[in-house]
Structure 1
Amino acid sequence: MTDQHAGIDTDVDVFEQPESVTVQPSDANLTWVSLPAAAMLSVAEVDQLLCWRDASIIAIVGERNGGKTTLVTEIYGRFLHGAFANAYFCHSLSLLGFERKSFQSRAVSGRVYPDTDRTSAQEGLRFFHLALSKDSDFSRHDLLISERAGEVYREIRDQPDRAADLIEIRKASTIVFIIDGERVAAPRRRAEVFASVRDIIRVITRTGNVAPQAQIQLVVTKFDLLDGDDKVEARNSLTEFEQKIEAMLTERFNVAIFHTAARAPLVDAESGQGLAPLLKTWLRRKPLVQLNSPSIPELSDEFDRLLLRRTV
């Protein structure tokens, strides 16, 4: 391009123009509709969804690297191949969130072994959204599955007062406590993981924020690492621990135990073990809350009688 004022030739790179240059939208662009970002939902977006959909909130609780995100993304991955757990994929407002968390588990990522993107504590509380249609009656069930960094749940063991601020616990119809099967398989880490899960359960259930009708689930992840004759002691210790937790909670809550292996790193191993029975429990209809009819006080003056006439 020639600069006529300076009388010299100047090369102009259009890709290095200032970012402040903006393109004015045409009149046709003014009618465009803004589409959802399709990322993971914030608390405010979840509130908006609950205004028009009767969704079940599933709170996933566990420490870092326990397999919380892998459990959820692998359930989503089952529906990429078709129907799963007697249900069909129906809709999701967090498809981009699912894909971002699943990318490192796919061959296109270039990784030698599958992995899952870690959740940072700075991300705060987010939710996956998954709407499924049951094959029996094709009724739609919306699931809102919490995603929070494991460091937050670890901190509430030392600061129990913070447990009252966990919104996902207060609203959850199902609370899933994750038990890391990899740490259970390691003799030196077994007692630590049992103590951590027990302390987290005690702190959360004693806050008074758990709904009486909420279901408590103990979900063991990476259960394939507990296979074999050399893991008999680990499996026995796990069974004993599960029985103690069930005895501690059974008088107050409905407790269920699941063993899962969402992602099997070995070629000859079966992936997705235990996911279907777990998902089916999430798709159950929430029990109706019985509300007591308020008693009408004695009406003693004309203003009270006026109120009664307006309600009849």
Structure 2
Amino acid sequence: MNISCPNPDCRVAETGKCVEGFNVEECPHQKSAVAEPESPDQHASSDASGTQERPSDFFVASGNILTIAEATNVLRSGTTRVITIIGPSKSGKTTFGVSLYDAFQNGTFDRWSFGGSLTLPAFEKRCHLARAESGKSSPDTQRTPLSDGLGFLHLAIYSNETRRVNLLISDRSGEFYTAVADSQEDIKKVYEVARADYVLFLLDGEKLASDERHGVKSDLMIVLETFVEGGILGKYHRVGIALTKYDLVLNSGLRERVENDFNRLLESIRKRYASALLEINATKIAARPTNNLVEPRFGVLNVLEDCMRQRACKDFVTPARLQVDRWFHRLSIIDGGAQ
């Protein structure tokens, strides 16, 4: 073991004796040197540049649904799309998100391949009631409690055209959106709408085929109006209006009436908000059909493709040039010469 001393006159490394007359073991300088030895962990944490990463620089996924801060880390990590799903309780918000996850259980989903997930346990928890292991006689989906607040499910998917893209799917109780539309007190807390690349409003097809048809249409219009008037939904947002549970619509015997109601609602929305929003799309969905009238995940791929599309750019308009009478004033300088 090499011995050194901060006293410049000490030659303990050469002679093995303390210049101040102490035994080497009793020298106060040697005691202070060995009192707090450098741990291997401390040594390993320092690199050649002398920098050490802080704990806040790391993001270790727990597998649970992502918080706003964790979702922000995903946004910073690479190409990301955020899809926000708006709808009342039991309209199919969570079921839609779970159906995207289920689409990759047996391989690719059309042109898309599974690239990973930071929330696999969260997906599985929401899928459990739809699996045989749950012991339920019919598939169901775990509802999102109001107390859970806002969270995000995560999927990484890729295709030959887009390469790897992160997809963040909002997960929030439908009661929250209803409360916002009623009071507008929490309108600024709807962060998932302001940041969304695609906002999907769900219209419950089962209720549209029932005596509640007028109520569900009115509720959707109120929420949409609240978001637009509140300034969190605007000209940079792409919006989708989805008629959910389309399998039940087909089985109701009222398909024509339901589709007429849906089309009239869509026409009203476009007439009123076409200038306020970037685009308004319409689709029909049966994320987890209960009959054989439609295929599994009917309409889900269309929504995914709409979400993954890049926002359309507005055409550039050449600014008008000032017209002057004198030819001299019309000259412009190009590379030092006159035109």
TM-score (norm 1): 0.78
Q: Is the 1:56–1:286 Cα contact (8 Å) retained in structure 2?
A: no
Deviations 1:84-104, CA, capped at 9 Å, x for gaps: 131101011111111111110
Aligned pair count reads 260
Shift of residue 283, structure 1, vs aligned partner: 1.5
Q: Equivalent residue for 1:95?
A: 120
Residue aligned with 2:170, SS: strand
SS of the equivalent of 2:306 reads helix
Question: Alignment partner for residue 190 of structure 2, among 162, 166, 189?
Answer: 166
What code does the residue aligned with 1:152 have?
F
Distance in 2, matches of 1:74 and 1:243, equals: 28
5+ residue gaps, structure 1, are 1-26, 290-312
Per-residue deviation at 1:195?
0.5
Q: Is the 8 A contact 1:178 1:221 kept in 2?
A: yes
Which residue in the other structure is 2:299 paired with? 274
Match of 2:161 in 1: 137
Q: Report the counterpart of residue 13 of structure 1 in structure 2.
A: none
What's the CA shift string for 1:75-131, capped at 9, x where partnerless?
A: 110111111131101011111111111110111111100000000011110001111
What aligned pairs does 1:165-204 form with structure 2 within 5 A after superposition?
A: 165-186=189-210, 188-204=211-227
8 Å Cα contact 1:61-1:175 kept in structure 2: yes
Check 1:288–1:236 CA distance in 2 against 1; reply closer, same or farther (3 A cut): closer
- Return structure 1 stretches of 4+ with deviation > 6 angstroms: none
| Partner residue, 1:43 | 68
3-state SS of the aligned residue for 1:51?
helix
The structural deviation recorded for 1:277 is: 1.2
- C-alpha distance after superposition, 1:136-181 (max 9, x if no partner): 3361111111100000001112112322221111111111111111
Q: 1:82 corresponds to which residue?
A: 107
> What is the TM-score normalised by the length of structure 2?
0.72
Indicate the SS of the match to 1:130. Answer: strand
Higher deviation after alignment, 247-256 or 67-76: 247-256
Greater relative contact order (CA < 8 Å, ≥ 6 in sequence)? 1
- Structure 2 partner of 1:12: none
% identical equivalent positions? 27
Measure how far apart 1:211 and its partner are. 4.7
Cα distance in structure 1, aligned partners of 2:162 and 2:272: 38
Change (3 A) 1:34 1:68: closer
User: What secondary structure sits across from 2:185 in the alignment?
Assistant: helix
Distance in structure 1 (CA, Å) of the matches to 2:258 and 2:313: 40
Q: Which whole-Å CA distance do the structure 2 matches of 1:230 and 1:38 have between them?
A: 42
- How far apart, CA to CA, are the structure 2 residues paired with 1:268 and 1:57? 31
Could you say which residue in structure 1 is the equivalent of 2:176?
A: 152
Q: Give the Å deviation of 1:212.
A: 2.5
Q: What RMSD, in angstroms, separates the aligned Cα atoms of the two structures?
A: 2.4
2:272 alignment partner in structure 1: 248
In structure 2, the CA distance between the partners of 1:237 and 1:287, relative to structure 1 (3 Å rule), is: closer
Amino acid at match of 2:272: M
Aligned-residue offset at 1:54: 2.8
Q: Secondary structure at the match of 1:117?
A: coil
